[in-house]
């Protein structure tokens, strides 16, 4: 057992042997920024201020060797063998909203495609549930383990909307897409995630979604254009087949603005989106651009690599890869 002090959090937390610092922090109610919880996204990147931390293997994309040598770690892959202190890097994401847990009621379940539904949750007496566009929440349906889904609505709406795609063998997604009915109570906890809209950015925006990654992208673009209708937005939605495409009415509505372009890219394996972006911006990205990317990990990695090769700094790529529980290896096992 170790005592860990986190900059910006008033009480030290206790981290048990074999427990990651991130897990201990979340269990203690700390709104620690995080995403994949598997060492792949970099959202939980932190600086070790004192003490020793044991870091399990992580992706080079999430934490480079240079960052590691500079004293940075990923809290989701870090074990504390002695008392230590850390500071997380993405401070702005958590300064906005406190973690909140509330009971909601299913207001509607609306098919979006053959395997994806929109679940709308009414926030009754327990609200409000505040978040920044692009963040996600953990949903607990009756008798099932919690699962993470991104809010598709803008933060100022009275309901929370989620796009849930049926994953073969996935108990929660199968239940949500096939058996969920209005009136069911759902526990919502959050908000989480650091791939959220940066309100201090005023340049062009690349909004890039794969599959049901359209949910956070929809939230970001809706919020952005509500506050700045003149903003240049380049929106891409990659899907596997034409039957997987959705949101056509919303996309068509966006293109009424001369400042917004939208593309729906159909690819057999969902990986073609990065090639389309590389071709579209072969002459260079618009000056001052930021990118928001959400979807399956392979698509997010490929798109992020292309954006990086086109000259976009890592700090201007805000990516949310949709990892499943199967993507989260145990730290102790590694
Ligand atoms: S790398 Fe730690 S949450 Fe993704």
Q: Are residues 314 and 209 in the same domain?
A: yes
Could you identify the atom of ligand 1 that is nearest to the CA of residue 44?
Answer: 2
Question: 249: domain range?
Answer: 205-321
What average pLDDT score do residues 234-262 get? 93
What average pLDDT score do residues 212-229 get? 96
Measure 103 CA to ligand 1 centroid, in angstroms: 27
pLDDT-derived band of residue 269, with 50, 70 and 90 as boundaries? low
Ligand 1 contacts CB of residue 39 (under 6 A): yes
pLDDT at 333: 43
pLDDT at 65: 83
Residue 204 burial (CB count, 10 A): 17
- Between the alpha carbon of residue 89 and those of residues 18, 65, 72, 153, 246, the distances in Å are 24, 17, 9, 27, 35
Ligand 1 probe mutation, 41, 79, 319, most atoms within 8 A of CB = 41
Q: Are residues 227 and 297 in the same domain?
A: yes
Q: Which CATH number is 49's domain given?
A: 3.10.20.30
68-96 residues labelled b (16+ CB within 10 A) or e (exposed): eeeebbbbbbbbbeeebebebbbeebbee
What are 224-237's pLDDT values in tens digits?
Answer: 999 999 999 999 99
What average pLDDT score do residues 72-79 get? 94
Measure 77 CA to ligand 1 centroid, in angstroms: 8
Q: Which CATH number is 152's domain given?
A: 2.40.30.10
Domains in the chain, number: 3
Q: Which residue has the higher pLDDT, 111 or 127?
A: 111
- Domain end: 159, 192, 225, which one? 192
Q: Are residues 104 and 187 in the same domain?
A: yes
Residue 282 lies in a domain: yes
Q: Are residues 181 and 267 in the same domain?
A: no
Model-level pTM greater than 0.75? yes
Mean pLDDT of the chain: 89
Ligand 1 probe mutation, 24, 31, 39, most atoms within 8 A of CB = 39
Q: Are residues 228 and 290 in the same domain?
A: yes
Q: Are residues 16 and 74 in the same domain?
A: yes
């Amino acid at each position: 057992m170790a005592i860990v002090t986190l900059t910006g959090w008033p009480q030290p937390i206790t981290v048990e042997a074999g427990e990651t610092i991130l897990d201990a922090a979340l269990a203690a109610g700390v709104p620690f920024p995080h995403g994949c919880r598997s060492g792949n996204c970099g959202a939980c990147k932190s600086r070790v201020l004192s003490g020793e931390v044991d870091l399990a293997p992580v992706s080079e994309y999430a934490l480079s060797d240079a960052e590691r040598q500079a004293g940075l770690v990923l809290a989701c892959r870090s074990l504390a063998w002695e008392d230590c202190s850390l500071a997380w890097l993405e401070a702005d994401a958590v300064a906005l909203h406190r973690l909140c847990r509330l009971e909601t009621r299913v207001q509607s379940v609306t098919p979006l495609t053959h395997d994806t539904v929109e679940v709308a949750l009414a926030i009754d007496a327990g609200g409000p549930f505040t978040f920044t566009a692009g963040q996600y929440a953990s949903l607990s349906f009756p008798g099932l383990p919690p699962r993470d889904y991104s809010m598709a609505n803008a933060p100022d709406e009275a309901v929370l909307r989620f796009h849930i795609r049926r994953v073969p063998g996935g108990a929660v997604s199968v239940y949500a897409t096939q058996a969920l009915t209005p009136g069911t109570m759902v526990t919502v906890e959050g908000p989480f995630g650091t791939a959220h809209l940066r309100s201090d950015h005023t340049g062009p925006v690349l909004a890039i979604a794969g599959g049901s990654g359209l949910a956070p992208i929809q939230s970001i673009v809706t919020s952005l254009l509500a506050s700045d209708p003149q903003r240049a937005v380049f929106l891409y939605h990659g899907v596997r087949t034409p039957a997987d495409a959705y949101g056509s009415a919303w996309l068509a509505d966006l293109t009424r603005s001369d400042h917004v372009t939208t593309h729906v890219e159909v690819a057999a394996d969902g990986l073609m989106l990065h090639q389309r972006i590389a071709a579209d911006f072969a002459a260079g990205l618009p000056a001052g651009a930021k990118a928001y990317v959400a979807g399956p990990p392979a698509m997010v990695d490929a798109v992020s690599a292309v954006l990086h090769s086109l000259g976009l700094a890592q700090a201007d790529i805000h990516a949310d890869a949709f990892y499943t529980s199967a993507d989260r290896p145990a730290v102790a096992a590694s």
